[in-house]
Structure 1
Amino acid sequence: MTNMHSVMMTVSRGLAMVGGIVLSALILMTCVSILGRHASAALNSDLVQTLAPGLAAWMLGLGLGPIYGDYELTELGMGFAVFCFLPLCQITSGHARVDIFTSFLHDTTNRWLRLIIEVIFLGAIALIAWRLSIGMSSRMRTGQTTYLLEWPVWWPYAACMVAASAAVIVALYMVYVRMLEAVTGADIIGEGGESEH
């Protein structure tokens, strides 16, 4: 059990790190793009064009401006990052919960409720992964590309499907853990790091 948990934690943390890197890159790209957009607007302003048209033309000629396709890159990367964070959130019980009624219930009842919630989550994430695979197949078949960058749309579908598939495996593991907890009465993971609201 300990080895299995260690493997699942390693996979979950690894995916979360990849998601964090992608998210950080998107944040950096957005900041650079916004700065470039403002710099381009300033260099194209009447004042700069009157006072230093040569300097403005030279800087604009260097490509100073917004990053081409920044909106598309953000759209493509955000979905992938979200799917990368799901396994770690699931295995650490990091999902937010509202326990107005469950705080009064017996520990045994709460263990069975956690099992039911894990089964529902497994079903939901498996459905999402399945639909992503269908969407990816459809985009591959039609050859659909993004508008500006003309990248194949199936690429982000494939990336999200890999992360969602890992989330399915972790969710399946969590159903197993919650079943052991419910049947044996032992807290293997317990409530974990759930945020109470």
Structure 2
Amino acid sequence: MHKFMSGLARIMAVLGGIVLTLLILLTCLSIAGRLLNGFFHGGFMQSVAPGFAAWMIDLGVGPVNGDFELVESGVAFAIFAFIPLCQITSGHASVDILTNSFSAGVNRFLRMVTEVVFAAVLVLIAWKLFDGMVSKMRYGETTFLLQFPIWWAYAASLFGAVISAIVGIYMALVRIYEFATGRIVIWDGVEVHP
């Protein structure tokens, strides 16, 4: 089961990375277009090469229309796509100054409580994203510039959130088992290997 969950988390992280890379390229392209558009509209190009400047402007050199709408939607998906890998590898930030002085049993209890609460929060987020998606579908809301349905962004985020919730529930069950048996199933760097 752990191999399957790890593979699922890694696939989601790769998808999130691809989306984030495309968003970075889109942002760079939009910024470059905005700068070039300003340059071609500027006094220097209008006086030195007005025909070329007009030609470039007519070609559509400028910012990508609706870039912020695409970035907003894509980043929401990417965030949820990275959570499963962070969850299954225990990659979340933690402050171990105090917990290092606790016994192994207390640390197992704290990890169990943390995982259960996090799983519950991930399920709640997925549920509310589903409610939001249904609401956006019902009212037919679209983005301002590109006019694509807002529920598409909710659906992409919901997909990532559901996978995050599944991995979160799995990790909560693992930590409950570890606490109940005293046996470490998934090493997370806090425990000392035998």
Does residue 66 (structure 1) correspond to residue 63 (structure 2)? The answer is yes
Q: What is the 5 A alignment of 1:119-134?
A: 119-134=116-131
Matched pairs, number: 190
Match of 2:91 among 94, 103, 107: 94
Match of 2:48 among 47, 51, 56: 51
Q: Given residue 106 of structure 2, which amino acid in structure 1 is its aligned partner? A: T
- The verdict on how the C-alpha distance between 1:160 and 1:192 changes in structure 2, with shifts beyond 3 A counting, is farther
Normalised by the size of structure 1, how large is the TM-score? 0.94
Give the superposition deviation at 1:192: 4.0
Q: Distance in 2 between matches of 1:30 and 1:130?
A: 31
Which blocks of at least 5 consecutive residues in structure 1 are unaligned? none
Alpha-carbon RMSD across the aligned residues, in angstroms, is 1.0
Q: What is the 5 A alignment of 1:131-150?
A: 131-150=128-147
Bigger relative CO (Cα 8 Å, ≥ 6 apart): 1
Match of 2:81 among 65, 81, 84: 84
Question: Where in structure 1 do 4 or more consecutive aligned residues deviate above 4 Å?
Answer: none
For the 8 Å contact 1:94–1:192, the answer to whether it is kept is no
The equivalent residue for 1:23 is: 20
Q: What is the 5 A alignment of 1:23-42?
A: 23-42=20-39
- The verdict on how the C-alpha distance between 1:144 and 1:133 changes in structure 2, with shifts beyond 3 A counting, is same
Does residue 75 (structure 1) correspond to residue 72 (structure 2)? The answer is yes
The equivalent residue for 2:156 is: 159
Q: What is the 5 A alignment of 1:102-121?
A: 102-121=99-118
The equivalent residue for 1:191 is: 188
Which blocks of at least 5 consecutive residues in structure 2 are unaligned? none
Q: Given residue 69 of structure 2, which amino acid in structure 1 is its aligned partner? A: E
